[in-house]
Structure 1
Amino acid sequence: MYKIIPIKKMIKKLTLFMSLFFCSSAFAQYDIAVTINGLTCDDELLLANHFGDKQYLRDTSECKNGVFHFTGKEKLKTGVYLVVLPKKNYFEILVSTDENQMKYAFTTDTTLSPKITTSKGSKENELFFEFNKLAVEQGILGSQLKKSYDAETDETVKKELSEQLKNISTLVSAKRSAIAKSNPTLFIGTLYLAMEEVKAIELEQNINKEEARKNQYLWMREHYWDNVTMSEDGLMLSPVFHNKLKDYFDNYMIPVPDSAIAMADVLINRIEKGGSKEQYKYTIHYLLRYFEESKFMCMDKALWHMAKNYYCAGKAFWADSSYVAKMCEESNKMEPTLCDILAPEMSMPDTSFTKRISMQAIDKPVTVLVFWDINCGHCKKEMPIIKAMYDSMTNEHFEIYAVYTQGDWEGWKKRLAEEKYDFINVANAFGDDKFREYYNIRTTPQIFVLDKDKKIRFKKIGAHDIANTIQFLLEEQGVVEPEKKE
């Protein structure tokens, strides 16, 4: 028999049930169900997300009745995520804040073949998997054609195979473009559009080739970001934005500090206007590190610019105050010796300790500053090279101003006498020159090369590079004729 429950009691229980249901629903904001044929609840899946060129763990699965679930109290941010299997192989999924993340469901097996990987509850992923299936199928076909191409000896057949390979690439690109064009409001549309390279303008025919290539380069640099939606934070949770940022500065930046600075400022300003705080934050942080690690001469000026104009100016809203304070302190130390800035004056005594020699008073088109120490191992290797260079070159157009950085005066004098260093040798014997502060001398040797106006043009170079930098500056200033190249 059925038990009869009074209507008031039934309503009370129903109210309690509905209350618990809605509380539970409000508690969970995402529930991604994953079925992997070949795995059991004894296994565990991981959910990770891309961020720039790295991947970060986001969640671990719970399993019930053979179905793995990723659940959380807050919606996942829009982006490209990875479902990672026990053997560390994975498949990617798209997550969007505009979709109901409680309905995401995926099915595949341990091979992760796109042919059998399916999605429910997400239009983004239906399109994503559809494209992946096509891309993999065409990739397999392309590999087979490439093997045939490599083994073929008949040029006519090779040409046909090459055309087929090109058609495969065109087909895949066209499919991705079609998805982007048909779905401009979806994340996948934004993602696939950003992956499209902007096509360069044709070379102009009515001007010389060098000028035409320059115009093409400038056009590409200006329009490189046209396909990137700079209001979409989700692009940061994918490799796409990072890869474009790296490619842009690796291949379109002229390796001159002022040009790099201008390029960085234009891009950051464009992103700021676009509205994506994540793109803005990532770009500033990336460029700070990019310029810091640059091997190009004087690029620390770009590093200094990023620190001063973004971090120290209060625009790096995400950065810890102590970190910013330290960065500003370091940038202040860098400032006096940035390239193209007048080198700070030094006036120190020579070995007699009675005569001061002013660096600024040296009347030569080129001045080489060398900071060194008699007990520095690297200095012992570099200083003989500098001496040999000085003795072998006609030094009427340049002078070396060598600063001993420590306090063993007798040892210093003895070394000079033994090695016969005939260039200008000074030391801070009276302790009244702030060379260490002005030139930020922490290690030795340190070498700076100045032009006739005593502006810093080269710095932190090796002894073997001095002769070439002198020759370059003498030619640039019209002091000597350019050397003829064979």
Structure 2
Amino acid sequence: MRAFFLALSFMSSVVLMAQDQMTVNLYFNIKNIPADEEVQLAYRYGDKTYIREELGSFQNGAYSYQSDSVNRGVYLLNFKNKNAYFEFILNEPTFSIIADYNDLDNTQGSLGSKENEVFFGYIKKVTEINRKVSEVDGNVAWDDEKKQQERERLGEEINAYRDLILEKNPGLLVTDLFKAYMDPVIPEVPAGMSEAEAQSFQFNYYKEHFFDNLNFENDALLYSPVIYSKMQIYRDQLTYQEPDSLLKTANQMIELASVNQNIKKYLIIEFFNYFANSKTVCMDKAYVAMADQYYLSGEADWIDPEQLSKIVDNANNLRNNICGEKAFNFTLKDASGKSVSLNNIQTEWTVLLFLKSDCSGCAKELEKLKSIDLSGADYKIVTVHLKDDAGWQEQVQDLKGEHYIHLTDAAGVIDWKRQYNLSSFPLVYVLDREKVIQYKRISVELLPQLIEKK
């Protein structure tokens, strides 16, 4: 089924942001709908679609729906048996939606709804333009240049149609939706710039003005894909993919959303979860920063005490072992009883490898370690076993030579969970000469790529 917004899987309804809700009386009239067709009322929220209510079957094609607690936004009628749906805008208390079940794409209409009159009109215009583009692409009599010119003309036609909608319909939700998807218009490059300077100018202008057309005051946009879509593009395509840059992006967007607490809350949760679930090495730096700024500070007052306690504990386990910070110094003994301090190990690179003698994953990691080539690099690999690990010496007996140091925390006095977030084995940290953490939680297979050779 064609839709203006991205189609996504349907999920059960959940408790979402507390928007000012509406009382609505909606009427659906679907011509030719089978008596056994099961219909669902659903809504968009971020990048997901949730089922609000099972409407069941329609009597003679008609259904009346009333509710006193509806959020404004983009909704859908989903026809389960047909495996099809269409979208509409809910921003008015009373209106009717009409369509023909046998031709849902081309028969959507509304009565008593300016929002949907505009919305359906735009969809029909886009459908018409797409049909013309297909005809252009299939025209064997035209060369590629003429086809491109015609595509551009058709693109300008739909843009002009959209601009007319924006001009004539200020204040509508559908207007805010259409406008939000518009890209900033990049001005002409100043004279005298090199090609590289021009590209930089265009990129920076585009990024700086990316949110100019997004109305952060309208929290009905949460119940559409647009805010998530803009966030994803800004985060994934316009931001350098490392923790400091991504954290800056998160804070910039959250600050823009400060005019509406619902949108701000949504963005805090989305970015925080993104950092929490990221598989990118060292991204926990951004996680801890967001935890401190929004959760531990008390600003995220919506979170329940139990969940907050978990976030506090997790952040505290991470803050002492963040990439870019100096690793916690420890002094442990080797097999001969000699004390070795981490800070006294003089080498360009120090690899900390936390092991457990009965850990199958550790055995596999050690086999990988034996097979990698670090010749030419100035490094030490320091294995660390915890208290009461009787088999520790046997596990590392094959790892000999000047590059290896094997230590054990026989006294068990160090809180490894707090200092190195040690909760499972094996665990790898890579430190530079100053014992600053450069990489963490990686496989030893990556060491040849990460450790610089002389």
TM-score w.r.t. structure 2 length?
Answer: 0.88
Q: Which residue of 2 aligns with 1:323?
A: 307
Question: How far off is 1:328 after superposition?
Answer: 1.3
For residues 317 and 179 of structure 1, the distance between their equivalents in structure 2, rounded to whole angstroms, comes to 40
Question: How far off is 1:147 after superposition?
Answer: 3.7
Q: Which residue of 2 aligns with 1:182?
A: 168
- Secondary structure of the residue aligned to 1:259 is helix
Identity of aligned residues (%): 28
1:146 and 1:113, CA in 2 relative to 1: closer, same or farther beyond 3 A? farther
1:436 and 1:325, CA in 2 relative to 1: closer, same or farther beyond 3 A? closer
Match of 1:416 among 376, 384, 396: 396
Q: Which residue of 2 aligns with 1:356?
A: 339
For residues 316 and 181 of structure 1, the distance between their equivalents in structure 2, rounded to whole angstroms, comes to 38
In the TM superposition, what are the counterparts of 1:162-311 in structure 2 within 5 Å?
Answer: 162-272=148-258, 274-275=259-260, 277-311=261-295
For residues 406 and 217 of structure 1, the distance between their equivalents in structure 2, rounded to whole angstroms, comes to 54
For residues 180 and 59 of structure 1, the distance between their equivalents in structure 2, rounded to whole angstroms, comes to 32
Match of 1:56 among 50, 56, 63: 50
1:194 and 1:324, CA in 2 relative to 1: closer, same or farther beyond 3 A? same
In the TM superposition, what are the counterparts of 1:362-373 in structure 2 within 5 Å?
Answer: 362-373=345-356
Question: How far off is 1:186 after superposition?
Answer: 1.1
Gap regions ≥5 residues in structure 1:
1-27, 475-479, 481-486
Question: How far off is 1:344 after superposition?
Answer: 0.5
Q: Which residue of 2 aligns with 1:84?
A: 78
Q: Which residue of 1 aligns with 2:23?
A: 29
In the TM superposition, what are the counterparts of 1:368-387 in structure 2 within 5 Å?
Answer: 368-387=351-370
Match of 2:425 among 444, 452, 464: 444
1:467 aligns with 2:448: yes
For residues 339 and 181 of structure 2, the distance between their equivalents in structure 1, rounded to whole angstroms, comes to 63
Q: Which residue of 2 aligns with 1:393?
A: 375
1:189 and 1:351, CA in 2 relative to 1: closer, same or farther beyond 3 A? same
1:387·1:421 contact (CA, 8 Å) conserved in 2?
no
1:137 aligns with 2:128: yes
Amino acid at match of 1:330: N
2:25·2:64 contact (CA, 8 Å) conserved in 1?
yes
1:9-36 deviation digits (Å, cap 9, x = unpaired): xxxxxxxxxxxxxxxxxxx931111111
Question: How far off is 1:106 after superposition?
Answer: 1.6
Q: Which residue of 2 aligns with 1:21?
A: none
1:255-296 deviation digits (Å, cap 9, x = unpaired): 121121112111111111x22x22212211111122223343
2:387·2:411 contact (CA, 8 Å) conserved in 1?
no
Amino acid at match of 2:97: F
1:354-413 deviation digits (Å, cap 9, x = unpaired): 2110001112232221112233222222224334547x5245x3222211246333x322
1:374·1:412 contact (CA, 8 Å) conserved in 2?
yes
Amino acid at match of 2:88: I
2:32·2:61 contact (CA, 8 Å) conserved in 1?
no
Higher relative contact order (CA 8 A, sep 6+): 2
1:300 and 1:89, CA in 2 relative to 1: closer, same or farther beyond 3 A? same
Amino acid at match of 1:94: I
1:404-451 deviation digits (Å, cap 9, x = unpaired): 246333x32233334436511101112123334310111222111112
1:378 and 1:202, CA in 2 relative to 1: closer, same or farther beyond 3 A? farther
The number of aligned residues is 430
1:177·1:192 contact (CA, 8 Å) conserved in 2?
no
1:379·1:445 contact (CA, 8 Å) conserved in 2?
yes
Question: How far off is 1:204 after superposition?
Answer: 4.4
Q: Which residue of 1 aligns with 2:15?
A: none
Larger helix proportion of the pair: 1
For residues 200 and 279 of structure 2, the distance between their equivalents in structure 1, rounded to whole angstroms, comes to 24
- Secondary structure of the residue aligned to 2:451 is helix
1:313-365 deviation digits (Å, cap 9, x = unpaired): 2222332221122111111111111111110111110012x211000111223
- Secondary structure of the residue aligned to 2:282 is coil
1:181 and 1:202, CA in 2 relative to 1: closer, same or farther beyond 3 A? same
For residues 303 and 293 of structure 2, the distance between their equivalents in structure 1, rounded to whole angstroms, comes to 14
- Secondary structure of the residue aligned to 1:172 is helix
2:44·2:225 contact (CA, 8 Å) conserved in 1?
yes
In the TM superposition, what are the counterparts of 1:151-162 in structure 2 within 5 Å?
Answer: 152=140, 157-162=143-148
For residues 45 and 143 of structure 1, the distance between their equivalents in structure 2, rounded to whole angstroms, comes to 32
2:276·2:284 contact (CA, 8 Å) conserved in 1?
yes
Amino acid at match of 1:162: Q
1:236 and 1:335, CA in 2 relative to 1: closer, same or farther beyond 3 A? same
Question: How far off is 1:118 after superposition?
Answer: 1.8
Amino acid at match of 1:89: A
- Secondary structure of the residue aligned to 1:424 is strand
1:143 and 1:470, CA in 2 relative to 1: closer, same or farther beyond 3 A? same
1:376 and 1:31, CA in 2 relative to 1: closer, same or farther beyond 3 A? same
For residues 269 and 362 of structure 1, the distance between their equivalents in structure 2, rounded to whole angstroms, comes to 44
Q: Which residue of 1 aligns with 2:14?
A: none
For residues 167 and 375 of structure 1, the distance between their equivalents in structure 2, rounded to whole angstroms, comes to 69
1:419 and 1:431, CA in 2 relative to 1: closer, same or farther beyond 3 A? same
1:200·1:220 contact (CA, 8 Å) conserved in 2?
yes
1:128 aligns with 2:110: no
Gap regions ≥5 residues in structure 2:
1-21
Q: Which has the larger radius of gyration?
A: 1
1:376·1:444 contact (CA, 8 Å) conserved in 2?
yes
Amino acid at match of 2:447: I
